[in-house]
A and B are shown apart, each in its own frame.
Chain A
Amino acid sequence: MSTTNILFSGVGGQGIILASRLVAKCAFNAGIMVKESELHGMAQRGGSVVSHVRYGDEVNSPLIPAGHADVLVAMEELEGLRYTHFLKEGGKVILNLRKIPPPNINPSTPYPDDAPARLASMGFGVVTLDAMAIAKDCGTPKAENIVLVGALSNYLAFDTPLWEETIKESVPAKFLDANLTAFHKGRETTAFK
Chain B
Amino acid sequence: MMKDNNIKLMSGNEAIGRGAIEAGISIAVSYPGTPSTDILEYLARNFEGPAQWVLNEKIALETAIGVSYTGKRAICSMKHVGVNVAADPLMTAAYLGIKGGLVLVVADDPGAYSSQNEQDTRFFASFAKLPCLEPSDAQEAKDLMLAAFELSEKMELPVILRTVTRVSHALSPVSVGEVRNQNALSLEKNPAKMLAVPSNVVRCHKALNKKQEELKVWARTSGLNKTAKNGQKKCIISCGIAFTYAKEFGKDYALLKIAAYPFDEKLIEDFVTGMDEVWVVEEGYPVIENIARKFSQNVKGKITGELSPEGELGPDALAKHLASGSKQNPAPASSDLPIRPPVMCPGCPHREFYKALKEAGPSFTAGDIGCYTLGAAPPLSAMDTCLCMGASISKAAGISSQGVKRVAAVLGDSTFLHSGIPALISAVYNNANILVVIMDNDSTAMTGHQPTPLTGITAKGEQGGKVSLEEICRACGVKSVEVVNSYEIAKNTELLKQKLESEGVNVVISRSPCVLLVGKKKK
Contact = CB atoms under 8 A, between A and B. Distances in A.
Contact of B343 (A31, A45, A67, A81): A45
Contact of B170 (A11, A37, A44, A91): A37
B329 A47 contact: no
B230 to A, nearest CB: 18
A39 interface: yes
Contact of A35 (B137, B329, B336): B137
Contacts of A104: 378-379
Interface string A94-129: 000000011111100111100000100011000000
Interface stretch (B83-91, B240-248, B258-266): B240-248
Interface of A: 11-13, 21, 24-25, 28-29, 31-48, 59-68, 78-79, 81-89, 91, 101-106, 109-112, 118, 122-123
B341 A66 contact: no
17 contacts: A31-B2, A41-B37, A41-B448, A42-B516, A43-B446, A46-B342, A60-B247, A63-B314, A65-B248, A65-B316, A65-B326, A82-B333, A84-B329, A84-B331, A85-B329, A109-B338, A112-B337
Contacts of A25: 9
A60 B337 contact: no
B9 A28 contact: yes
A102 B338 contact: yes
A115 B496 CA distance: 46
Interface residues of B, number: 55
A109 B34 contact: no
A42 B371 contact: yes
Given A28-B9, A47-B341, A103-B343, A62 B329 contact: no
B1 interface: yes
Nearest to A46: B343
Contacts of B516: 42
Given A35-B171, A102-B340, A109-B337, A60 B327 contact: no
Contacts of A78: 337-338, 340
> Which one of A44, A60, A110 has the highest number of Cβ atoms from chain B below 10 Å of its Cβ?
A60
Nearest to B3: A31
Interface string B312-341: 001110010000001111111110111111
A36 B37 contact: no
Contacts of A33: 1, 172-173
Contacts of A35: 137, 170-172
B53 to A, nearest CB: 16
Contacts of B247: 60
A176 to B, nearest CB: 17
Nearest to A90: B329
Interface of B: 1-3, 9, 34-35, 37, 113-114, 137, 165-166, 169-173, 241, 244-245, 247-249, 314-316, 319, 326-334, 336-345, 371, 378-379, 445-449, 516
Contacts of B379: 104
A21 B171 CA distance: 8
B339 A87 contact: no
Given A37-B166, A66-B329, A61 B244 contact: yes
Contacts of A59: 172
A10 to B, nearest CB: 10
A77 to B, nearest CB: 10
A12 B345 CA distance: 10
A45 B342 CA distance: 5
B248 to A, nearest CB: 4
Given A61-B248, A85-B333, A105-B338, 16 more contacts: A29-B3, A37-B166, A39-B114, A46-B343, A47-B340, A48-B340, A62-B170, A62-B244, A63-B166, A65-B319, A67-B327, A84-B331, A86-B329, A88-B327, A89-B327, A106-B338
Nearest to B380: A104
B329 A45 contact: no
B171 A24 contact: yes
A41 B112 CA distance: 13
Nearest to A29: B3
Contact of B342 (A44, A79, A109): A44
A27 B57 CA distance: 38
B164 to A, nearest CB: 11
A41 B114 contact: yes
Contacts of B316: 65-66
Top 5 A-B residue pairs of the complex, sorted by shortest distance between their CB atoms:
A47-B342, A43-B114, A67-B328, A62-B170, A67-B329
B210 to A, nearest CB: 39
A81 B166 contact: no
A66 B319 contact: yes
> Which one of A36, A45, A62 has the highest number of Cβ atoms from chain B below 10 Å of its Cβ?
A62
A79 B170 CA distance: 21
B81 to A, nearest CB: 14
Contacts of A31: 1-3
A123 B331 CA distance: 10
A41 B326 CA distance: 34
A79 B9 CA distance: 28
B491 to A, nearest CB: 26
A131 B246 CA distance: 38
A39 B113 contact: yes
A88 B137 CA distance: 25
A172 B339 CA distance: 34
Contacts of B339: 48, 102, 106, 109
Contacts of B137: 35, 62
B337 A41 contact: no
B169 A38 contact: yes
B340 A79 contact: yes
A42 B446 contact: yes
A41 B339 CA distance: 20
